[in-house]
Each structure stands twice: as C-alpha cells, then as structure tokens.
Structure 1
C-alpha cells in the first residue's frame, strides 16, 4: 500500500548449428540475407506488440505474465522475456535456464560448467548489447540530439552500449555433461541459513532468511521500519504502508500476520520505495494507485518466488482497470517491475544476482 497475444507468424529466429569438434561457427558465416533479417525483425516487433496488447487488454494476462517471468527469476528484460517466450512457444517447450555456448578457453557459458551443446541443436536468441568506443563525430551527433554520452577521465567518449544484436543462447535441456543445478537466490540463502538443507516451506512460515535483510534495505533507503498492531496510526486496515512526508519516512507492517506474510508485505513496501512511488521523482508518469500497487505487488511476487517463498499474487490491484488498454503504460510498468525486482534480488545476495553481459559478449545478454 502507498499514501507482442498471440504468437507471431513468419520466419523463426535464425538457427545456428554448433559443432562440438571446433566450437561454434563464426556468426558471420550464418548471417541471413538482408531481406530475411528484416523479416525476422518485423516478426519480433509484431510479436512484442501483440503480447503487449494482450497484457493491456486483460488484467488476468498480467498475472499470467508475472507467473511466467517468475520462472526466469527476472533475469531478462522485457524484450528478451518476450523473445525467449516466442521461440519457446514455437518449439512447444518449457525452458529452464539459458547460457551461451561458451568460449574456447571454457571460462564462460555452458563450457565453464563442463557441459556442451548437443550437435544439431538450434540456438535461442536474445538481444545482446554492442559495446565500443564511439568516434568523436558520433558522440557530437548524439549530444546534438540530446543524448548523454559518457566520457572517460581524458575526455574521450567512453566504451558504452552503441546498439544491440541478436546473440545465441541455449537451454539446459539442449546440453550434456556435468550435473548442473540452476543457480538461484533461494539456493544461496538456504545454504547460508540452514547449512545446505533445502526444506519444504511450511504454510505460514518463512524459511528464506531474507526478512532481516529486506528490513535493512528499507532502513538503508532512509526509512524507519516498525511492526505495528492492525489499525495503528497510518496503517489503517492495510497489511503494510509506506509514509513519506515532512519529517516522516516510515514503513509500518502489521505485527499479527504470519512470518511468510510479514516478509511478503515488507518486500511490497520496499518495492514502493525502490519504484519512487512516494517521492515525486517520477513526475510526468501516470502513477495512479492501480499502477503503483500493480508494480509493487508484482515485484514482491517475483522476489518471493525467487527466494522460494510460495506467494500468490493478489488480484485486487489488477482488476482496477489500471491499464485500460494503454500499451505504452503496460510496457513502462513491466520494464519497471523487471528492473526493480532484479536489483532487489542482487542486493539480497549479490553473489547470486542475475548475470550481466560481459564486454566480450560471452555471457547471457540483458538488454
């Protein structure tokens, strides 16, 4: 609380065949014709727009989307989520975990984990950032267009993202080799809390060990945190509330809820803070109550699922008609949810945070 529906038709993403003998073929050798590439990009955009339209038209579709994203742990941006779903649906498969083939030195991708992509497997594709140092002419043009250009200590344009390309990646089910356990924040926290035991969560209990760390993140943001009796002060009938005003920066959570609900509600309030719902920073955005609650509850649900806490998304925030078919609004909301959930997961356990793309493009891309 806080004071592309369809499946795109047309050519599939390009399929690259990898040979175990000498590693992946150079991507240049698998380039499509200019016409095929244009058709592919048109297909991706059409599917992206169709999925956005479906989310904007039906609140239930948003809940389904958040549940689907939770399986990936908010590892990908909205564009890459949709792109992977598009390809997985076409193949009629439920993907598990993606990594690229890996370099020849076996220091990245599946090769780093002692696994190899089976011969003949078709790659999935995600958008990967292209990083390089732009020329002074490019930098001057971008700055004239109002775009900020990062510069190093010598005043030169710094190495930065200058565009995106489609980069191949493979699902765990497409590989063979050493045993591989999908990394998760839940794994690391259970190992930290219980010495490696991964117990089944009991109804009402919270065995994630994350509550104190979530409270710390709230306090680090400059907010006081207290448990309070129902109906106390600002709390009213809510499970939790974030209050920002002259001389007041406080989060209150009911003291009579279960441990699991307490953690979930505390995460919900942290999400409000991270989304800048109470500070006025996001001026110009359509931040009515329905959108704020949708963002906060979606983030809480994603993080809870990643931590291993069985948390069902509430439906009251979604049935308010907060989107009213506005595709741009849904896109902005989805991007915020993925960005903030990813950041919270990384803060709760930096060592197991979602992978970031490496400068050499060997790791999974994250547009």
Structure 2
C-alpha cells in the first residue's frame, strides 16, 4: 500500500508529529499550571533565602556531593529553616568571598594607609539531604507505581536502541538513575516499579542522546536545569505515546528544575524535545518490530 492509499484509508488519523506536538503542548500546559500554583510560589520564597553560588562553587558542590539539591551553612539550616545537620555528616568545602584590611604605602612613600581588599576563604556548607527537621515546601515528585503492559518488550527495546550499556544498580544517593558520560554507561536503580523503571531509562537515554560530549558537536554545554527539563520532557512524551501516564511526576519535576516563574526554559527546548522524542519512538517501534519478527520465526521453527 502506498502513501496515498494510506491517506485515503485513514483520512482522520493524525501524523506522529501531530500526536507528539499535542503531547508536548499538554506538557507545557501542565508545567505552567504547576508554576502558577500557590505551592510553587511557596517553594520560590523558600529558594530565595539561599545564596546564589558561583560557577566554581557549583562545580565544587557537584564534585563533592553530586545529589545535593539545596545547600546552606550549618547555622543557616538551624536559624532559617529549623533543620539540623545530622551527626557525622561531612561538610562540602566551597570558597566564600571576604574582605581583608591591609596596610599599604601611599604613592609618595611618605606614610601608610589602611585599604580594604576582597579575597576568599574556605567554608563548609551542607546539602539538604544531610539535614533533618522541618520539611521544606518542595514540589512533590513521588515515585511512580504500577505495571506496564508488554513491559519486557519495551525494556528490551530501550536497551536495544541505547548505544551504551544499561545496568541495574543499588543506588544509595536517592536518584533513580544516572548517565555516566566518562564511563559511557547508564545506571538504573534496582527495585523500582515497572513504570518508574521505563520512565527512568528513557530519561537517561535522552541525556545520552542530547547531552553527552560526543553528541554536542561543538555546541556549548547546557546548564544542569535545562538538561533535566529536556530529558524529563522527552520521557513524558515517549511514555505518553505508549499509554503510560507520568504527568503527576513530570510536571512537578520539570517545574522544580526550571530557573524562573515562566516556562521560557521549556519553550526554548520544545523543538529539541519533539525531535528527539520522535526519533526515539521510531527507534523503539523498529526494535519492537524486529523482536516480533524474531519471536515469530522462533515459534515457526519450534513447530
């Protein structure tokens, strides 16, 4: 059957690109609703109390405590947030600006003057995950629960389309999975539900496809927030295509990672999200079709 005949047979059927656009439009609307909610405004008010850290300090934090969501000093956690650093927790060492007074000779050399200069000193901060006490107002991203129809076929198809190994791991840091760009491998936390496992696999494969060094093609690396927005949005789009509802998890997750009150960050990435989701769905369908053909031949041979 040629393309024209297909069109005549299903005149009302939407193209895959139209279906994906509908899903990503729904994503944008859902995230916007989270942004406009009172709960998100509460979270922003809470976030405003934290200091903004320099790029160097962000790198220092990421190197010492990769899963840190929020950081603050020991006393700040106590006074501002009613939380206590747990006994035995090791501080994250960063650089804090400070002013020094030094004695300096005047240009005429006749007398000296006291001048103030800015320098740096090493201080310790602690991640939210290292503290306990009053809960902070955060966007809810409770783990997804439930089984997936044709789970093993979808699981195998995702492993098939991924150019790097995917392995199950007992991850203790609290994250559901991660892509290790240096080792070129994906780790997925063991013991999760079927739907959470599939969504996490798609999320990490999206990181590999869009954000790995080998796939940047000389482009400037994106900030961490944008990477997470893109990966989670692709996971939502692909899951929705296969009838898996991750909206409650995704909308809060994306809103929590975005950097402002508007959906600008998401809007700027939507075309990349749509294109990558389309490519992934095509690859998954192809992998699942290959598996069906293999199963069919195996059954015929067993007769």
TM-score by length of 1: 0.38
- 1 or 2, which has the higher helix percentage? 2
- 1 or 2, which has the higher strand percentage? 2
TM-score by length of 2: 0.45
Structure index of larger Rg: 2
| Greater relative contact order (Cα < 8 A, sep 6+) | 1
